[in-house]
Structure 1
């Protein structure tokens, strides 16, 4: 006896994070349609036509927020396939993406959302998000924290030219810890290909001007920047 076929639908969900006013913030939308109308959710949507999931993620990003995917660091978080995660069809499987960029503007809500706004991750995790987006958000933030240890992802939070203090703020905000300034400076400047000096300086308003750097060619940190105990969960 043959088993009944199950229709499977694919979606892409986006965990878009940036640092605003000293907080790690995530982009949330207020759902305009059922299910979960009016409830906060991560931006995302269904795969269409001949799109691959990366193209779906980029399109949904533009449609729901007005942000361009080309300006973001984009990485897959994981695939979520619980049978009852979406009540609309028998099976909706989503691929979640982590996106990182500096100084992202206030978003614009698109056709599928009533509103879009930045919210500190700590506040977002106290809400009840639509679908299984609570778990996706938690997984994406943990991925970002892990990536800061082994990859040069921290520079994706920074503007094109940045100071060591601005880079250190990224680690402190994402990890939820305070780092020793001289030790941090030594580690990041000794890491091969992590930073490239621009030869220019910026006034800090208190003391000597700070040297400016840009992201180097390396994608991994050698040696890794291990996060200390006591980081935020």
Structure 2
């Protein structure tokens, strides 16, 4: 006798946790919702997975529709499936995260009317968020705090050319603690993955610092695996 399988009514959604770094501040990309539930609330860019889309395709489409950003590499990092996390029924959300250098090409503006606007907001000034998005954000933040200790993700937040002070600032802001300047520089230079460009900062009122570049090929050749930063 064939067993009759139960029917499932769960809906899948994508939520995008996109971090950016600008002028010493770690920022998160949020939208102001224009639809119920939680109309007029701030939220992570998110929506329902399309019927004929893969999860990665949905993530790219949703981020583009709600923020205007495109061709952003994102990674899945967690699934949120509490039974009552959505007031309109069972919705399981797959969370993606990304790290971006902020600049003119990272200006945000929703394409869809689903969002009123999109803004980069300092993580220290996080407003009250819709649904369980605070939990999703906090889980994403913990993810990058762990990864920055073992993988070179800090360089994804910096311009191509950067100073050691700028690099240290990224680690201090994400880790939320001050680091000893001398020890930090000695450790970072000892890895052999920073290329001294023999250039100095331009247009600064203080003593210009040396500029460096992250050497991806050297990193892959030397390590090809996680190291402790």
For the superposition of Structure 1 and Structure 2, which TM-score range results when normalised by the shorter chain?
A: 0.7 to 0.9
CA positional deviation for 1:88:
2.6
In the alignment, what sits opposite 1:161? 161
Structure 2 SS opposite 1:48: coil
In the alignment, what sits opposite 2:38? 36
- 1:198 aligned onto 2:197: yes
In the alignment, what sits opposite 1:136? 136
Structure 2 SS opposite 1:145: helix
CA contact (8 A) 1:164 1:185 kept: yes
CA positional deviation for 1:131:
1.1
- 1:80 aligned onto 2:80: yes
Q: Give the Cα separation in 2 of the matches to 1:221 and 1:180.
A: 23
CA positional deviation for 1:220:
4.7
Task: Please give the per-residue CA displacement for 1:8-37, whole angstroms capped at 9, x wherever unaligned.
Answer: 211110111112232211111111111111
In the alignment, what sits opposite 1:93? 92
| 5+ residue gaps, structure 1 | 226-233
CA contact (8 A) 1:11 1:93 kept: yes
CA positional deviation for 1:42:
0.1
Q: Give the Cα separation in 1 of the matches to 2:226 and 2:4.
A: 52
Q: Give the Cα separation in 2 of the matches to 1:211 and 1:13.
A: 36
CA positional deviation for 1:208:
4.5
In the alignment, what sits opposite 2:8? 6
| 5+ residue gaps, structure 2 | none
The count of aligned residue pairs is 218
In the alignment, what sits opposite 2:121? 119
CA positional deviation for 1:134:
0.8
In the alignment, what sits opposite 2:57? 55
Structure 2 SS opposite 1:162: coil
Which of these two proteins has the greater Rg computed from alpha carbons?
2
Q: Compared with structure 1, are the counterparts of its residues 3 and 131 closer, same or farther at alpha carbon in structure 2 (3 Å cutoff)?
A: farther
CA contact (8 A) 1:85 1:92 kept: yes
After TM superposition, the score normalised by the length of structure 1 is: 0.85
